[in-house]
Amino acid sequence: MGRYSAWEIIKQGLTGNKGWERAWRDPEPKARYDAIVVGGGGHGLATAYYLAKEHGIRNVAVLEKGWLGGGNAGRNTTIVRSNYMIPGNTEFYEFSLKIWENLSQDLNYNVMMSQRGQIVLFHSPAGRDAAARRLNIMRLNGIDGELLDREQVMKMVPHLDYSENARFHILGAAYQPRAGTARHDAVNWGFARAADQLGVDIIQNCEVTGFLHDATGAAIGVQTTRGEIRAGKIGVAVAGHSNRVAQMAGVGRLPIEAHALQAFVSEAVKPHLDYVIAFGGIGHFYISQSDKGGMVYGGDLDMYNNYAQRGMLPVVHDVHECVMQVMPSLGRARLLRSWGGIMDMSMDGSPIIDKSPVEGLYLNCGWCYGGFKATPASGFCFAHLIAKDEPHPAGAGLRLDRFRHGAMIDEKGAGATAWHH
């Protein structure tokens, strides 16, 4: 399989585009691999890629029960940012953003990373204080961020509702210029193709239904809908199904619940929004415009345990109230599509990349509604953990036992939200 290049496009164009090869193979599963990654979302694919690229472990399989990107990796609203302020998260998400900045070149696949900047509005003096504090912490950690006043926001995004009687009065915003969006499908396909080129077997329609253990209890393989597969090491990156798979594997229950998050896309309109706009606190809302012109947006979880990949009307209602409060100019745009994905909501809202109590089994979960931006760093750190049996420094704070010790990474600062998610 060749590299993608401008020259290749011209050559293929002149020969009727008949010479393009499939982007990755469709191999039969082997009886044994050095490592298996369960889950062919962005995180699983990135993990396999970095196992092969960084650690030379190429006899690897990614086992996906459906099709690549059929989970959250292909359902998210594609926002990439690193405006986190609690140790554990801060360094991890900035590490991720740095990988994003070169990801297209590294994968030889255009992931359409667009650093258009994210503007997080605040609507109260307390919101301003919180934004200033977050930005200060980010800057102390070498992350870009600026506090914008109302006039600056008005200049950058003139068509929000700045009227005096606006329900969400806009006082200013926290701005991260290096944040933006990337194309989610391209990220999955790019990692899949690059991993495949390094020898990784990507096996779709292969659901893991059980685990094989040796006499000491260590995990030595999996049962799947396509037969038994043995492996030296097994990484689990199944997002919304983390608790299900962990219990199946003998790890026991996780501090995680499955919840649905919805996304919405409007009909295509002319260029209307140059930035990602978001706000939280009062309401919860984020919006950007895709390259095709659709407004892509979302809000809160459906807020009850949920394994159905579609949402319910109360959240549809809430989210569109937010649209109308902040961007009334979209009032007559038609909603084209909406869908849901199953989030692995951890009890503190932060992720877990760690060894499990079962020897040979590694966990990558708890991504909540923010794991797309984490995709490259998650794969990088998880591959490091699997290959070396010790955490990568950038992901070393994301431990499973933090709940037991009360050392939560509680980004919202709201305390333990045990039954909230």
CA distances from 333 to 8, 58, 197, 277 (A): 39, 48, 43, 17
Q: Of 132 and 303, which has the nearer Cβ to another protein?
A: 303
The partner residues of 363 in beta bridges, in order of sequence, read 236, 354
**Residues 203-242, interacting with another protein (CB under 8 A):** 241
Positions touching ligand FAD (CB under 6 A) are 38-44, 63-66, 70-73, 75-79, 207-208, 237-241, 245, 261-263, 298, 341, 367, 369-373
Task: Retrieve residue 367's tokens.
Answer: 């991504």
Q: How far apart are CA 330 and CA 137, in angstroms?
A: 34
* Residue 407 within binding range of another protein, rule CB under 8 A: no
* Residue 332 within binding range of another protein, rule CB under 8 A: no
State the binding partner of 304 from another protein, ligand FAD, none, CB within 5 to 8 A by kind. Answer: another protein
Output b/e per residue, 82-101; b: 16+ Cβ within 10 A. bbbbbebbbbbbbbbbebbe
Q: How far is the CB of 70 from ligand FAD (least distance, A)?
A: 5
- How many Cβ atoms sit within 10 Å of the Cβ of residue 140? 10
Q: How far is the CB of 116 from ligand FAD (least distance, A)?
A: 13
Contacts of 101 (CB under 8 A, 6+ apart): 113, 115, 178
* Residue 414 within binding range of another protein, rule CB under 8 A: no
Which of 140, 308, 324, 414 binds another protein (CB under 8 A)? It is: 308
Handedness of CA 11, 12, 14, 19 (dihedral sign): positive
Q: Of 162 and 250, which has the nearer Cβ to ligand FAD?
A: 250
Which of 137, 171, 303, 396 binds another protein (CB under 8 A)? It is: 303
Contact pattern for another protein over residues 335 through 364, marking x by CB under 8 A: ------------x-----------------
Residue 63: phi, psi to the nearest 5? -105, 120
Output b/e per residue, 185-196; b: 16+ Cβ within 10 A. ebbbbbbbbbbb
Q: Which residues bind another protein (CB under 8 A)?
A: 241, 243-244, 247, 252-258, 303-308, 312-314, 317, 347, 403-404, 416, 418-420
